[in-house]
Amino acid sequence: MASTLIADLTWYDFAERVKEDPIVFLPIGSVEQHGPHLPLATDTLLPLAVAQQVADRVGGLVAPPVAYGYKSQPKSGGGNHFPGTLSLDAGVLIGLVRNIVNELVRHGVRRIVLFDGHMENQWFLVEAADLALRDQAMLGRTDVRIVKLGYWEFITKATEKVLFPDGFPSWELEHAAVMETSVMLHIRPDLVREELIPDDPAADFPPYDIYPFDTRPIPPTGVLSSAKAASAAKGEAVLAQVVPDIADALIKAFEAPTS
């Protein structure tokens, strides 16, 4: 079976595949601390793995990921002050994704998924998509469609109960905790330091922000709630549910009329 990874293809292969009007996935992650037990590339590895499985289902292609993302925020990622967290300014991320989208379209791609793995990226991906579509409209191309999604948004209430039988904290506080650790244990157990999985109490943030940010409510590990309940079986359950659901949703999204 031919690879779904664009980086593995020759240009001849790519040109032939584009003729089939494939859905092309662009995973966008980050280089961000994920506690003492997960690698800095977690937010890139996870969407890349999920995108590959979805692409297999829909006959799509996966572009090389954008490995850097917007600045880690204290309430959802622990914060940009943690060593090893290498982030982009908003304008840089917007320009980079806009440029990649325009390049894909230049080579004949018309169906693109911005496959986000880092919560802080989301509004900048909206701007990148908007500007790229404006660029294409100015060139007379009106047949380009872009879908933006975060794979975690497809996790159903039933799967949440599998992950969090004792109650769901919030996706913001789930940073480097049960879900991400579980999926990493399933797809890349070699990169998970199980003996260092933290059991921190959930961070307690006030309902406002002060700048410079007060880092005292952030657990010293950078993990915003306990990851002790993570398991490879839970990670497998997440992918078993979200992959077909994302595939079905994308088929509907790209087949739907534009107006």
pLDDT for position 256: 72
pLDDT for position 259: 57
4-37 per-residue burial string, b: 16 or more CB within 10 A, e: under 16:
bebeebeeeebeebbeeebbbbbbbbbbbbbbeb
Please list the ranges in the chain whose pLDDT falls under 50.
none
Which residue stretches of the chain are H helix? 11-18, 42-58, 74-77, 90-106, 122-138, 157-163, 178-187, 232-255
- Report d(CA 213, CA 216) in Å as an integer: 9
Query: Choosing from 37, 116, 118, 200, which is the catalytic residue?
Result: 118
- Domains in the chain (CATH in brackets) are 6-255 (3.40.50.10310)
pLDDT for position 246: 98
| pLDDT tens track for 177-193 | 999 999 999 999 999 99
- Report d(CA 62, CA 48) in Å as an integer: 8
Catalytic-residue membership of 37: no
- Report d(CA 24, CA 200) in Å as an integer: 39
The residue to which tokens 């009106």 are assigned = 142
pLDDT for position 258: 63
Query: Choosing from 174, 180, 186, 200, which is the catalytic residue?
Result: 180
pLDDT for position 200: 86
Catalytic-residue membership of 245: no
**Total H helices, total E strands in the chain:** 8, 4
Q: In what order do the strands lie in the sheet with 23-28?
A: 61-62, 23-28, 111-116, 145-150
Catalytic-residue membership of 107: no
Catalytic-residue membership of 118: yes
Through-space distance between the first and last CA atoms of the chain, rounded to whole angstroms: 36
Catalytic-residue membership of 127: no
- What residue type is 83 in one-letter code? P
Query: Choosing from 37, 116, 120, 200, which is the catalytic residue?
Result: 120
Contact 78, 177 (CB under 8 A): no
